[in-house]
Structure 1
Amino acid sequence: MSADVLAVAVLLGSGVTAGVLFAVALSVVPALAEMPADRYVYTHQMLGRNWDPTMPVIVLGSAVLDLVLAATADSTPRTVLGLTGAVLLLLVSAVSHLCNVPLNRSVKSLTPSRLPADWTDPRPAWRRWHLLRTVLALAALAVNATGVAVG
């Protein structure tokens, strides 16, 4: 695979990642925050059905392509930028897997019409972790775009 094709694939993957997370942060998170608990649980369950395995494949696939781009780069700046982009995308994946996914699983296990009396609303924590991974994804996109522009 040529360096140009790899660069386009990395930009596409990191752009989709940043775009999806940004859209969720801008529109979905505020909407979910305004809902009563039962509607939130139902809506969260419906929205979350199709993210796996699509987003993990895009994020991790883009990180791998970043690593390949870094390993085959013809300059130190492109190598460093490729490695940085890969690390940022791996951090997006880590935050998702270690922080957001456990909260998602807890929401998926609920019956919207019968929330437990001791239910703790996960929305504030989920929002914080989501905003962190959104910032990381936007940084990855910026770094990857810079790496392509430098070349």
Structure 2
Amino acid sequence: MLSIRIIHLIFTFAIGLFAGLLYTFEQGVIPALATLNATEYTHIEQGLIRALDAFPTGVIVVANLAMWLPLYPLVRLWSQRHTAYWRITALGWALFFFGVGVFTIVLNVPINNTVLAWDPVAPPADWAQARDAWNQLNAIRTPINYVSFGLLIWAAFVAGEANRER
């Protein structure tokens, strides 16, 4: 059970880091980017995308830990899938995996790739539509991430209670 607690701590921390990243974008980066003209926006946004993608042990590793590590306790405790810990962990994982992970890969990343292809000196006329679409998608996945993070914290407390009752 110690391995499950350690793994739970690691993936909950990873999901919390991702929640912090999305919170930072929602509360600080997006409002700041909204003040920029097309050329400034393109230059800064391309820099942000490249910076977040360039460091392979950063966002990608954290996202993968958050998406895949929860499977360890879920598979290992399959026989206990009726317990509150298993169900809450499964729900928190599913929300993060699909509502943040897959959502990001399928919807946000293609917009990032489009922005990276723009000429920073002459962005397309519809640049604001791409910005607004990305921001709307972020406004959906951010609260999903918060709920996922909260569920995984709750699951840790439920597991602790179950261990004390034994």
> If the length of structure 2 is used for normalisation, what is the TM-score?
0.83
How high is the sequence identity, in percent, across the aligned residues? Answer: 25
Rounded to whole Å, the distance in 2 between the matches of 1:80 and 1:71 is: 12
Equivalent position of 1:62 in the other structure: 66
**TM-fit CA distance, 1:57:** 3.0
Equivalent position of 2:19 in the other structure: 18
**TM-fit CA distance, 1:111:** 1.2
Q: 1:130 aligns with which of 130, 133, 138?
A: 138
1:70 maps to a residue whose letter is L
Rounded to whole Å, the distance in 2 between the matches of 1:82 and 1:115 is: 44
Q: 2:101 aligns with which of 73, 93, 99?
A: 93
Rounded to whole Å, the distance in 2 between the matches of 1:48 and 1:120 is: 16
Rounded to whole Å, the distance in 1 between the matches of 2:76 and 2:33 is: 43
Maintained 8 Å contact 2:19/2:145:
yes
Structural mapping, 1:2-151, within 5 Å: 2-52=3-53, 53=56, 54-73=58-77, 76-91=83-98, 92-116=100-124, 118-121=125-128, 122-151=130-159
The total of aligned residue pairs comes to: 150
Note the aligned Cα RMSD (angstroms).
Answer: 1.7
**TM-fit CA distance, 1:64:** 1.7
Maintained 8 Å contact 2:22/2:142:
yes
Maintained 8 Å contact 1:70/1:78:
no
Rounded to whole Å, the distance in 2 between the matches of 1:85 and 1:67 is: 11
Greater Cα offset, 91-100 or 57-66: 57-66
**TM-fit CA distance, 1:88:** 1.2
Deviations 1:29-81 (A, max 9, x none): 11111110110000000111132353243223222221212233456111111
Q: Which runs of 4+ in 1 moved over 6 A?
A: none
Maintained 8 Å contact 2:38/2:127:
no
SS class of match (2:34): helix
Greater Cα offset, 118-127 or 14-23: 118-127
1:49 maps to a residue whose letter is R
